[in-house]
Amino acid sequence: MESVLTRIAGTLAEPPWREIEAFGPEVCVHTAWISAPGIYLDSPENHRFVDWSLAFLKRLAELGTRHLVVLGTCIEYRTTGAARAEDRTPLEPATLYARCKHELHLKLETELARHAAALCWARVFYPYGPGEHPARLCSSIIQNLRRNQSVTLKTPDSRKDYIYIDDLARALVLLIERKFAGSVNLGVGEAVAVRQIAEVLGRLLGKPDLIQFPAQPVSDPLDCVLSDSTKLRSLGWRPGVDVEAGLKNLIACLG
């Protein structure tokens, strides 16, 4: 059966409701939010996205959309040295961005219960790959190396759970297919150091000597941000792209 993609133009602040109602969506995957590196964590615009998102998703539920998949963030969790687990790790959002995501989650749980709509709150860990903002870690390192500029890593020992964008997309599709409701982590379950990311990129681009490590590295306040991916894997998901393959794809995409 041939699939058909219909593009409907609009904004979260001013949705094209006539076209949306005519389409009659059964499921919505909500990904819209401010995400520009260096800005998004403390931007006052986060408050607007709470209001816009709540109004948008409430209206969808009123129209009969029965499954809403909304992206949260891994930094809603309390900073601990252990893997973040949906049902065990306390929530303690420290940034405005994380607090606003958490606020939206709580409000949606109350609102959607009135409309018998199922909510999947998907906490995304550290996505990377083609299409990412040029200021994000991997893309910025690639651009600097290609300009023959040295890359000095401020927090080389910082470890994060990086998930390739295609694997993230497959996880979202699976959540839709399984009609999953509740909170779920979207992460691989493996922590990779910034040092490792940079060294792989240096090797792949033939410029390992341009990767510099400070004598006194800065400590990352988030330390190790690792997903307990048990719940996602129990649905049948497995990562298909490892870090090296993902970085090769990103290099190729950037030309």
Looking at the domain assignment, is residue 8 inside a domain? no
DSSP single-letter state for residue 196: H
Tell me the per-residue pLDDT of 167-194, one tens digit each, with 9 for 90 and over. Answer: 999 999 999 999 999 999 999 999 999 9
User: How many domains does the chain divide into?
Assistant: 1
pLDDT value for 2 = 66
Q: How far is CA 233 from CA 79, 101, 163, 227, 239, in A?
A: 23, 24, 14, 11, 9
166: domain CATH number is 3.40.50.720
Q: Indicate the pTM of the whole model.
A: 0.94
Tell me the per-residue pLDDT of 206-232, one tens digit each, with 9 for 90 and over. Answer: 999 999 988 888 888 887 999 999 999
Strand runs labelled E in 9-56 = 27-30
Looking at the domain assignment, is residue 17 inside a domain? no
**Mapping DSSP to helix (H, G, I), strand (E, B) and coil, where does residue 214 land?**
coil
Instruction: Provide the edge-to-edge strand list for the sheet that holds 182-186.
Output: 27-30, 67-73, 118-124, 182-186
Looking at the domain assignment, is residue 14 inside a domain? no
Looking at the domain assignment, is residue 18 inside a domain? no
Looking at the domain assignment, is residue 242 inside a domain? yes
Tell me the per-residue pLDDT of 48-80, one tens digit each, with 9 for 90 and over. Answer: 999 999 999 999 999 999 999 999 999 999 998
Looking at the domain assignment, is residue 2 inside a domain? no
Domain span at 246: 24-253
